Structure formats: C-alpha cells, structure tokens
Amino acid sequence: MEFNIIDKTPLWNTLSELGKRIFLPDGIFYWSGRAKKEAEIIGTIGSAFGYERDFIDGGSDEWLPCYLKTIKEYSSLDVRSIVPYASIGGLSDIREIWKKWIVKKSGYDDKKKIELLEKSITKPIVTQGITNGIFLCCAFLLNPGEIIISPNKRWGNYDNIITKFLGVNIKSFDFFKDQKLNVQGLKEAIKEVANKQDKIIVILNFPNNPTGYVPTKTEGRELVDALKETQKDINKPIVVLADDAYEPYVYSDEVIEKSIFYDLIELDEDIIPIKLDGISKELLAYGGRIGFVTIGLKPKWVGSEEDLDTLKAEINNKLEGINRSTISNANHFYQAVTQKMFEEVGMDNILKEREKIRALLQSRYKKINKELENLGNPDISVDPNAGGFFLFVNLNPNKMKASEFADHLLKKYKVGVIPIEKPQNNINGIRIAYCSIDIEKIPEIVRRISSALNDF
Ligand SMILES: Cc1ncc(COP(=O)(O)O)c(C=O)c1O
C-alpha cells in the first residue's frame, strides 16, 4: 500500500516511529484475495478444510472448515462462525454494525450531524478487548521516553501498558480540585508537555475507574473549551484517547450523557479523538475480548471525499499492521455472537435488556453514596461519582495508609476492597466495586468500613 495522504495530515505528526513505519503487507492476503476470484483450485488458506462427511460420521457434502464434532455441543452457531480466523481488522459486518452503534450512541437526530459524524470516523478496528486497544493506540502514537498525560486517578493497567511495557512516561495531574474536574491541572500538564514534544497525547476515561467520576455538563463544556484554547496556544496536535469502557453506565441527569468523543470530533482545531469501546462492559461480555478503536478525523485535512476515503484506508492498513503483528486477529466466536445480537435482537432491544442492569447499578450507586455520606467521618472523602462500576474513598494520609487499612478491613471485618496508594500522585484510598455488591449488603459493608475506621 502506498501512503500518500496520511503524511500530509496532523495525525502523522502524532505517530510514533512504529506508527510511521508499520503497514500490512499484501502478502498472503493479496494472493488469497486473488485466488478467491481467479483460481479453480485454492491452496492459499492456512486452515484445514474438507467435505464434512470426510471428517464427521454422518457429515454432509458441504466443504467446511474441519472441526471437532464436540464443538457443536457447545454452540448452535454455524461452525463457519466459530472455527476460522476472523479478518485481521475484524469481521467486516461487525465493524459496520459497531460504526452504526457509535452513531446511535451519539443520540443525534439531526441528519446533518449524523452525516458529518459518519464521514469523520474511521471504520472501527476490532481488538482483543479495550486493553488491547489501549496498547495498540499507545504503540501507534508514542515512542519510548515520550509522554502521555493522564489524571492521577486512572485504571492501574494504564501504568502496566504504558510505562512498564511501552517505556512511555505518564505525566499525571490531580484529577480533582475542590471536588471538581481539575481542568486547570490538565491545561498546565498540556503546556508543560508541549515544551518537550511536538504532540500531545491525553487519555481520559469517563465514567472513570477507579472513581466513577463523570463530568457534569458544565465541567464537560469547560473540558472541551480548555482543550480548544490550549490547542490554539500550543499550536500542536492533541490526541485524546477516550476510554469509554463504562460508557452506558451513567446514573445522574447532571452529568454528560455521552462520550466526550462526540464533542471533540466537531471541533475545528487539530484535536483528534480516538474512541475506545467494546463489549466487555457495554454488552456485559467481559471474557469475549472484543474491543474497538475508532479514530475521529477532520474532513478539512483533505481536499476531497476521495482523499478522505484514502486516508481512512491508509489508517486502517496501519492499524491492521499492528493487529497482524500482535494478536493477528480477534476472537471470531464473540464477534459472531455480537453480530447476531445486533442483527437478530436489534439495537433498541439490546438497550432495553441492558437498562435493567444499568438501573440495578444505579440503585446501588445511590445507596452506597448515601450510606457513606451519612457516616460524616472527617477522615474520609468520597470522590465525585455518577457512573461506572466503582467509587473511591480517600483516606486521611496522616492517619492511615490505604494498604494497611485495606488489610485491617479484610482481616478483622472480612471486607475486600482495592487499596490505591501512590503518595507521589497524591492518592491514598480504597476503591469499592459496588457493581458486585448486592444492595442489601451495602449498609453492612459501610457499617464495617466505619467500624474499621474507628478502631484502626
Ligand atoms: C477504564 C478501563 N478501561 C479498559 C478496561 C479494559 O477493558 P477490556 O476488558 O475490554 O479489555 C477496563 C477494565 O477493567 C477499565 O476499567
């Protein structure tokens, strides 16, 4: 593939050496594609095929991927949806469906807005869960030694992927100031990093793990305005990785009801949002390991619709190049299941089914926040939260270390929570995963936390 467009867009300046270098060679795919169209006998596919009767007692005359009979006992799906490799970027149909799902999640009903969104986003590429999507994006964008910006309260696995695995540095900023999103802290972090490198990469996650934080509508606007202003000031492209793992789990009317990806895509500035979402939490299929990476482009970068399509194809080729050299391709079975759900059940019914679970979590969210508030304990403070699966209780660092408190809570009160203790990032507290605690048990867990605080 030739790359004639991408290197003339601001996206190019945000890529790592790997991102610039990687591509998916034609190789096997070129010859397989040609063989499908031109050959009489195909000897290109590297998986075993045969007439079903030749490998299954009583099998049909169909030419199928060879499979073990017992596999059929575990799924009623056609073996062609289970056994073969999926395509490198994901099954074409599920990629199209997920693109429509992203449009649906925008909540837009204005035709023009929908058209612009459809035009501006790449076809989602399928990864092995969002974790793999985060890895893919960070490898695509950042060289070892470069810097990504992230709030101090973040999913712990970012540090594994970004720092330990990729050798990239994380510039942390305090997520909250006076119980509000610390927009000023983000601005300062961007300006500081802009003095050192020619691109800014930020990763944001709402609803957040570990805090459950979702920006209020005002904070959301302030965040978008701050990114706009700062981009103008520094005059360098800003990529925002929107980790939308918990996107649908929002429990308050006061907070933004959709991903910031949608606001960022509409900006004229060179702010490039990348959406990371997937079935793990959204469709409650954690083990399915299906995630999606979707890049928001600015149509103004290119001169014509045709060039925009070429740009999308070039980006797709590069991302497929990363998939090919890491995971090769993602779980076929779960792509097929997801596709079937969308095709046979439909988006609206999926939303209806899921609403019960969202409402269940919302009732726990209300209960646990109320119970913690009622404690009125000056040694703890709960971070603002309005969504997701967790909340975060800050502990007075002068009185207790989070890990020691968690140990005491577990040993004496038989309550398990995750302590997060990073003094260098001003963090000392416990994450409570209320997503997995029955509402009836919430008063009891809070009572035990209170007792543990009193006799620590
Ligand atoms: C913020 C956040 N992002 C991403 C993930 C990973 O999602 P997946 O299971 O799809 O890899 C998680 C899972 O805990 C998470 O909390």
pLDDT at position 46 is 84
User: What are phi and psi for residue 205, nearest 5 degrees?
Assistant: -140, 110
Backbone Cα Rg of the chain: 24
Determine what percent of the chain is predicted with pLDDT higher than 70: 100
Q: Is 207 in the pocket of ligand 1 (CB under 6 A)?
A: no
The CA 450 to ligand 1 mean position distance, Å, reads 30
Cis status of the peptide bond prior to 207, with omega within 30 of 0: yes
Q: Three-state DSSP class for 22?
A: coil
pLDDT, tens only, 201-232? 999 999 999 999 999 999 999 999 999 999 99
Backbone φ/ψ region at 346: left (φ over 0), alpha (ψ -120 to 50), beta: left
CB proximity list for 273: less than 8 A, separation 6 or greater: 239, 240, 242, 260, 261, 264, 265, 295, 296
Number of Cβ within 10 Å of residue 73's Cβ equals 8
pLDDT for position 28 = 79
Model pTM above 0.95: yes
- What is the three-class DSSP state of 166? coil
Beta sheet of 147-151, edge-to-edge order: 125-127, 291-295, 271-278, 238-243, 200-205, 147-151, 169-173
**Centre of ligand 1 from the C-alpha of residue 131, in Å:** 6
- What is the CA(177)–ligand 1 centre distance, in A? 25
Give me the pLDDT at residue 440, please.
98
More confident residue, 421 or 44: 421
pLDDT tens profile 378-418? 999 999 999 999 999 999 999 999 999 999 999 999 999 99
What CA–CA distance (Å, rounded) separates 241 from 334? 24
Can you read off the two tokens belonging to residue 86?
């999926």
Q: At 323, list the tokens.
A: 């998939």
> Mean pLDDT in the chain?
96
Q: Over range 299-304, report the average pLDDT.
A: 92
E strand residue ranges, 160-290: 169-173, 176-177, 180-181, 200-205, 238-243, 271-278
CA of 290 to the centre of ligand 1 (A): 11
Is the bond preceding 210 in cis, omega lying within 30 degrees of 0? yes
% of the chain residues with pLDDT over 90: 95
pLDDT in tens, 165-190: 999 999 999 999 999 999 999 999 99
Instruction: Grade residue 240 by pLDDT with cuts at 50, 70 and 90.
Output: very high
Residue to probe by mutation, ligand 1, list 98, 127, 130, 159, most atoms within 8 Å of CB? 130
pLDDT value at 29 more than 80: no
Distances (CA, A) of 77 to 32, 69, 301: 25, 13, 43
Residue with tokens 């720092």: 163
Average pLDDT over residues 41-48: 88
